[in-house]
Amino acid sequence: MRSVIANDTAPRPITDRQRFLNACHCRPVDRPPVWLMRQAGRALPEYRALKEKHTFVELVQTPDLAAEVTLQPVRRFGFDAAILFSDILVVNEALGQPYRFRETGGIQMEFAVRSAADMERLQVDGVRERLDYQAQALRLVRAQLQDRTALLGFAGAPWTLANFMMEGGSSHAFTSAKTLFYQDPLLFGRLMEKLTTAVTELLRLQIEAGADAVQLFDSLGGLLAPGDYAEASARWMKEIIAGLGARVPVIVFGRGVHASWDALVDTGAQVLGIDWQLRLGEAARQIPPGVAVQGNLDPFLLTATPDRVARATRELLQEMRDRPGYIFNLGHGVPPAAKLENIACLVETVRGLVPAGACGNLPS
């Protein structure tokens, strides 16, 4: 009887989901949670097998296929969180600006948004209904993960989406949105209001469908001068986060945003993602201890060797060992040439399951 009572009162092991949520709220964890941006997709052979049968857009817009791709990296590597397989430009498409992939690479929008008349073509009403395939996919993933693994939704930040909208797709020099911001701030504001409303609706949809947290990708935030970042980008993310009502943690990832920490903190995000272009400890010292930090291994290391990945991973863990609220991640997305054994090594090193120098023996 004593042994039964002891077993009943023994603390239960923390789930991966709870570990992730605890870190988002800067609560104690047994180890940092780990997930990777773009962990689903190009680097995985099981994804490439699906890609031989379906286009990228088909995978994104077909709920059971999107759910399958979302779950693939969790099955293979056991991440603490899954992130919905999708694309930031689904918001643009839902507003009425379809996109496709160029044969030469990159994104091509059906038309560029440049004028007030172009902006009138963007329809906010019905965005939720047009993006319902995401809700369906999230519910399928949630049913598979149950409460074991955290589930993340995401969207592009309005500033980043506006750049693709106004350039008409991928570009070597995104200049149109900056030009509008400087020359016609009222028209710029009209575009950002539409994007902010649409992104808020999408994230609400994701949360209602089971997302435990959501991330805003401001991938082109570094295009802005530090003095302009708050007005051109951060204020709109702040409005989005306020509109979500603190229902789940929000992560803001601002690539190249290294001198606007006050503006990023002021968005109200519970977690700030840091890119690989500066030391993580340096960034963390500029962020209040009540805001969690995510990052920031150089993604290119995943194309190197397991031992090199293990060494760099341990260095980051050591650098952040005393920081409450740390989530291990890359400083950008998993590159297509990432080696499976390197991803496995990263995850097992964060878990503390790999003795120094033994990572090279991990199976892929």
Q: What is the chain's pLDDT, residue by residue, as a tens digit (364 residues)? A: 444 444 555 567 899 999 999 999 999 999 999 999 999 999 999 999 999 999 999 999 999 999 999 999 999 999 999 999 999 999 999 999 998 887 667 888 888 999 999 999 999 999 999 999 999 999 999 999 999 999 999 999 999 999 999 998 888 889 999 999 999 999 999 999 999 999 999 999 999 999 999 999 999 999 999 999 999 999 999 999 999 999 999 999 999 999 999 999 999 999 999 999 999 999 999 999 999 999 999 999 999 999 999 999 999 999 999 999 999 999 999 999 999 999 999 999 999 976 555 565 554 4
> Does residue 6 lie in a domain region?
no
Tokens representing residue 84 in the block: 């919905």
pLDDT of residue 3: 46
pLDDT of residue 1: 43
Domain with residue 26: its CATH number is 3.20.20.210
What angle (nearest 5°) sits at the alpha carbon of residue 20, between those of residues 30 and 243? 145
Cα 206 to Cα 334: distance, rounded to the nearest angstrom? 23
Count of CA atoms in the C-beta half-sphere (13 A) of 1: 0
> Does residue 36 lie in a domain region?
yes
Query: Which of helix, strand or coil describes residue 357?
Result: coil
> Does residue 22 lie in a domain region?
yes
> Does residue 5 lie in a domain region?
no
Cα 306 to Cα 364: distance, rounded to the nearest angstrom? 11
pLDDT of residue 100: 84
Cβ-in-10-Å burial (0-12, 13-18, 19+) of 141 comes to: buried
pLDDT of residue 356: 55
> Does residue 9 lie in a domain region?
no
pLDDT of residue 361: 52
pLDDT of residue 355: 59
Cα 261 to Cα 303: distance, rounded to the nearest angstrom? 30
In this structure, the dihedral spanned by the alpha carbons of residues 219, 175, 97 and 86, taken in order and rounded to 10 degrees, is: -10
Structural domain harbouring 179: 16-359
Cα 155 to Cα 198: distance, rounded to the nearest angstrom? 10
Query: Based on the structure, what is the number of domains in the chain?
Result: 1
Cα 274 to Cα 158: distance, rounded to the nearest angstrom? 19
> Does residue 247 lie in a domain region?
yes
Q: Which of 321, 334, 233 is nearest to 276 (CA)?
A: 334
- pTM score: 0.93
CA distances from 121 to 65, 111, 117, 314 (A): 30, 11, 7, 50
Query: If residue 216 lies in a helix (H) or strand (E), which one and from where to where?
Result: strand 213-218
> Does residue 364 lie in a domain region?
no
CA distances from 201 to 131, 155, 186, 272 (A): 10, 10, 23, 22
> Does residue 3 lie in a domain region?
no
Close Cβ partners of 21 (under 8 Å, ≥ 6 residues apart): 150, 212, 213, 249
Return the HEC string of 22-56.
HHHCCCCCCCCCECCCCCCCCCCHHHHHHHCCCCH
**DSSP secondary structure string, 275-307?**
-TTS-HHHHHHTS-TTSEEEEEE-GGGGGS-HH
